Structure 1
Amino acid sequence: MIAPRRFLPSVNSLLALEAVERLGTATAAAHELSLTHSAVSRQLKVLEEQIGVSLFIREGKGLRLSLAGAAYARSVREYLNDLARASLKVKASGARSNLNLAVLPAFGTHWLGPRLKSFMQLHPEILVNQSTRIKPFDFESEDFDAAIHFGTDDWRGANHLPLLGEQLIAVCAPDFADGLPLAPGDLFGKPLLHLESRPGAWEGWFKAHGLDAARLRGMLFDQFAQMAEAAVAGIGIALLPEFLAVREFQRGRLVAASSGYIDVEGTYYLVWPRNGAANAPLSAFLQWLSQSGAGLKGA
């Protein structure tokens, strides 16, 4: 339910408040908004009268925001940004339906992205929007139809469709060391790059090769793409998933630092809210994943 209109100021008044707070003066705000100084002042006065709270402290011919005014201006900026994003989404999609996906950045770029073309050709009436989310979130508070999740089927309140099992390989720049690929034991003492969301990945890699390793340290990254770039720059050795490593091998930027791929625990899933039926765009996407074979573990 929308609040009573008496609590909903005009967009022009809110634009004036936001500009004054951000730029510091009504004169600068007037210049940015292509208004006169008096027009901005009137908008601010109307806003104060409607809210019933003093938003500004007048000092001679100048003014500055009160604590209440500054806090309100920050909230207004969030509202204006949300309004702009919603308007852009409608403008971009036109008459088409939207499918809003939260994706893991590397997986979205290197695995999902190349496959989306066939879905879009099959369903030109659906516009697929993607935003990055690294950690699970509450679907009720975020405007997403589905998300990509890595790990186990433990996203609370969500359905899970397995997409891909994880395989990792140790990679480095072609000139990182002589005699590549190295024996697994030769990686001890080399600079190893780590991913925040995969603690213990290197220990698991060494264990898979019959070697004990503990408390391995090195540079830490929050995304595969950043870690891959560090490896390209010769900073260290990275563990990358197959879908990303293959791309870098094809480009000649990275090579295998040691033996081939190893299977690790964890699966990439498409997840969507369990409560309520899937909307038409999501239903079409789920059907396409199942029929195309893209939604099968190990595909």
Structure 2
Amino acid sequence: MGIFDSEARAWLKAVLGDNVRFDEPMSKHTSLKVGGAADAYVRPDTPETLTAVVGWAHQNGIPLTVIGDGTNLLVRDGGIRGIVIVLTRCLRDLRMSGDAGKTVRVTAGAGVRLAALCRFAVANGLEGMKFGLGIPGTVGGGMMMNAGTAWGEMGDVLDSLTLLAPDGHIRILPADALVTGYRTLSWEGRRPDCDGSPPIILSGCFRLRKSDKSPAELTGEAREILSIRHERQPVSSPSAGCFFRNPPAGSGAGALIDRAGMKGATEGGAQVSTHHANFIINRDHARGADILALAARVRDAVFRRFGVVLEKEVRVIGATARG
């Protein structure tokens, strides 16, 4: 039954219909294919329904966990208490929202897949989103972690973001109110966290540039970048992307893990990828505990060899399984 009594379940069913599932295994909804059950797994299909659920949860003291596509995410085997809210159905607006000379503003809902935003930019002859090619997940998740690659990051093009507070108040924060760092975004000393209370990021507005190249040329460049990324990453195996952040100086995390002798190391059903050492893959029905134990071994090996402390890039949420 989780934390919900029959009255709470009835309210959620009345508001959401088939868009709520109780005691839902999160292993079905994460790219790592691990995770215990969520008390309630909710997929609002309109912004109004999202606002209603957030307000009801806030009034009743029910924890909220917000996710997009379930990438860059590890859910522990004990599952998630309260409500898991998925934004991919209700926040799908994607449009050009302003044009000033060579600068074009594009608004994307938090539930839009980052790949769709990149395709939209290319199709409209816009530059600035090259860094996002091949990054899985949603625009909301990408903003929350300031996703990026060697070609740039979300903070480089983010013009503003729109937030939903627990009381239903909507607020727009301009770029100069945001603080971005390597895989982090914050405002007023706060940062969003998918294992805590709202505010929830509803959308972002991005400053892109009109390109002198044709959409066909931009498409060709995009395909080349995607090809390079797919060659370097274990795209055919369940993973959460790069598991550790790159250190601020020196070699990248993958190179350090490889040189520490951990490439190919296993723990239960989890394995350090032999294709790219900064990926931990679910090789054979791994549990979340397997992946976390392997990550701890990797971290320890790198520290003992190089004195470098690796920090997780993957977000870890949920409860530890009992027993």
Q: TM-score, normalised by structure 2?
A: 0.22
Choose between structure 1 and 2: higher strand proportion: 2
Q: Whose radius of gyration is greater, 1 or 2?
A: 1
Choose between structure 1 and 2: higher helix proportion: 1
Q: TM-score, normalised by structure 1?
A: 0.23
Larger relative contact order, structure 1 or 2 (CA cutoff 8 Å, min sep 6): 1
